[in-house]
Structure 1
């Protein structure tokens, strides 16, 4: 029996078939369409009687290679790529829902996903109910006769709350519901939701999968029969990933394991350094023993991920002063980059949420989200420590740990 290759090997060695030029790396197939050998092949391809590329909005060798890798790494049967992470989140639900359907979703979601549920889907008669991550006993009672699917992200953005995937998979199965998991923060290297019963796994490949802030992209992976429906929806609504971005993302997967190890190691060191800091109200990171779901994190994640959050004393004004005092860290609306990034969710990514909604998902006025990069950890520590000091009006120090 052929032995299954390890994660890192699959990410590196899975490639599209070589051309007659015998290239070591797949070329970029920058073509809008593909020719047919004859009229019969064209007919067969358009009628799904034969596999092959027709038009890059439908499929492309670069995107196909990316999908093949992601399916192997996530343990799913099939998948498609999209032009952005939000195209993936939207399409993963919209393709499988009809007017009158209901969604049960975790309350802690990315701001744009919240907007889809609260402002876009209602136009089509699709409703939702939010469930609190810290009240799992309430979820079953929130399921309605017209509930079609459950949508969660874990760890959540930006609160870093976790959902028990094993429990949730059993809940969805018991009620015949589809389970969709946004696995953006963890990536397939740290957790595989499909192994716990998720029917669809969605990604913003813009983040850690790219890992270098170069591309916008997304992916939807899952059971073959469901992906067929999603593929039909995407084929005709058109959120296609460009071949160039597909090529970049496929190459990025070759270093995902190496990068995630460094992201996670740096993040844990930063969280440990900041925990108990005199200028902070709290620090949150899944692999800190103080995290309320530490045991769950250890159970379903390989490592704690590359994101940490902390709340500075002094609220919004202090949080903004902290960002303005950073010398090395980037202030940008992204995460998962090689470079460490700091954001203030209350005034940026989740600013469209009311104060009450922000409080419900753990966004305090002084909350700062840090996407920990690949720089030397001492440099990251020093920049954050000195920004905390500068925003309080105290002298800076050199950090050497």
Structure 2
């Protein structure tokens, strides 16, 4: 995208529509997939610029941006399945994904089998002749389980299915699923990629021919990213490596500090050597991220008191921002899934997900330990 003369920061192209100089040019622009000069629902110069950067980060041929992470995965899945098809997905996903798979897709005659993501053979056993998609997320939300991306992608490929990997927690700084065989990678760019709690966005990256199919559906669903949010997303990407480095450092420091506290029953973090899949994580990640999930021995009340006692961290949904955000999954998941679907997703009542920001490491650890110390013995 051309920059204004002398402008260090690229301009925001706020126009909703773009003029053509001839009927032929108008037609060509209207038919161009992922274009940037016809109508903003079809594409915008800000979309094109940030999508190009995101494709490079993920090692993909091309990328598309959307209004949110859920808009991304919903549009992609609807574009790639039809009635009678089957989807395999791991049990532990961000709560909105099981809602899509279990509540929405059956209305269109598409069914899903969920499996234990830590068991590669469970993916193999779930495959059917009609399986078209395999959905994975590594590390998973909120327990930070690890999926063997190379093994699962190979199984899907042998079955004739596409693998879509959620890379929100890891970011392309820490992991690049396409390099391990995944066909498509998506993010809630609201999180680490944006990084400042001031935008809502999603991204899908992969081969152009597959994204062409998704684009045909995207212009119908209309989950378009606004030019300002696209510009903000590009702003966030400029500091992504620096931020992720501090997120990684803070996440690891918190994991080590909390696991030694008597109020803590368990810590879930793939960077810990005793994490059940630490070896797999080390093989496919360059860093372990800023999200740490901790189970408090005192259960639901202890989780609530712990969050209330924090001073630097804020009780809020979302993650991956410059500030530390803390949430109680057992409470949040109830707003997303039906009671009969909570099961494993609800996790233990004492589970707390901590998304470490980029604050000073010692200050952040002190804040967490002080709040843990204040819990009833």
Q: TM-score category by the smaller chain?
A: over 0.9
**Cα distance in 1, alignment partners of residues 360 and 33 from structure 2:** 53
TM, length-normalised to structure 2: 0.96
Tell me the residue number matched to 2:22: 38
| Structure 2 match to 1:320 | 304
CA distance in 2: counterparts of 1:206 and 1:308, whole angstroms: 19
Give 3-state SS (helix, strand or coil) of 1:160's partner.
coil
Query: Which of 243, 246, 254 pairs up with 1:262?
Result: 246
Q: Distance in 1 between matches of 2:212 and 2:42?
A: 12
Structure 1 residue matching 2:374: 3-state secondary structure: helix
Do the aligned partners of 2:33 and 2:212 also contact (CA within 8 Å) in 1? no
Aligned-pair distance for 1:135?
A: 2.2
* Residue-by-residue CA offset, 1:38-80 (whole Å, 9 max, x unaligned): 2221122223399651001111111111100000110111221
Equivalent in the alignment of 2:168: 184
Distance 1:36 1:313, change over 3 A: same
Q: Structure 1 unaligned segments of length 5 or more: list them.
A: 1-15, 394-401
Report the Cα offset of residue 25 of structure 1.
2.0
**Counterpart in the other structure of 2:93:** 109
The aligned counterpart of 1:311 is 295
2:58 aligns to what? 74
Aligned-partner Cα distance in 2 for 1:51–1:59: 5
Report the 3-state secondary structure (helix = DSSP H, G, I; strand = E; otherwise coil) of the residue aligned with 1:129: strand
Whether 2:260 is the aligned partner of 1:276: answer yes
Give the alignment partner of residue 75 of structure 2, picking from 71, 91, 100.
Answer: 91
How much has 1:151 moved relative to structure 2? 0.4
Change in 2 beyond 3 A, CA 1:311/1:173: same
Q: Answer yes or no: is the 8 Å Cα contact 2:249–2:361 preserved in 1.
A: no
Paired position in structure 1 for 2:274 = 290
CA contact (8 A) 2:149 2:180 kept: yes
Q: TM-score, normalised by structure 1?
A: 0.90
How far apart in 1 are the matches of 2:43 and 2:128? 37
Secondary structure (helix, strand or coil) at the match of 1:391 reads coil
Q: Is 1:25 aligned to 2:9, yes or no?
A: yes
Residue in 2 that maps onto 1:53: 37
CA positional deviation for 1:168? 1.2
| Separation (CA, whole Å) in 2 of partners of 1:352 and 1:38 | 49
Contact 1:276–1:282, Cα closer than 8 Å, also in 2 = no
Matches of 2:332 and 2:28, distance apart in 1: 49
> CA offsets, 1:275-300, max 9 Å, x none?
13211101111111011111111110
The superposition leaves residues 261-282 of structure 1 with CA deviations (integer Å, 9 ceiling, x where unpaired) of 0000111011111113211101
Cα distance in structure 1, aligned partners of 2:338 and 2:33 = 51
Give the distance between the partners of 2:294 and 2:143, measured in 1 at CA. Answer: 9
Instruction: String of CA shifts for 1:208-240, please: whole Å, max 9, x gaps.
Output: 001110100001111111100111111122000
The 3-state SS of whatever aligns with 2:80 is coil
CA 190–161 in structure 1, closer or farther in 2 if over 3 Å, else same: same
**1:205 maps to which residue?**
189
- How far residue 389 of structure 1 moved from its aligned partner, in angstroms, is 2.2
Tell me the C-alpha RMSD between the 2 structures. Answer: 1.8
The residue matched to 2:205 in structure 1 has which SS? strand
The match for 1:349 is 333
Aligned-pair CA distance for 1:247: 0.6
Report what 1:166 is aligned to. 150
DSSP 3-state at the match of 2:357: coil
Alignment-derived partner of residue 109 in structure 2: 125
**Structure 2 residues not aligned, in runs of 5+:** none
TM-superposition CA deviations, 1:132-189 (whole Å, max 9, x none): 0232222211111211110011100001001011111211111111100011011111
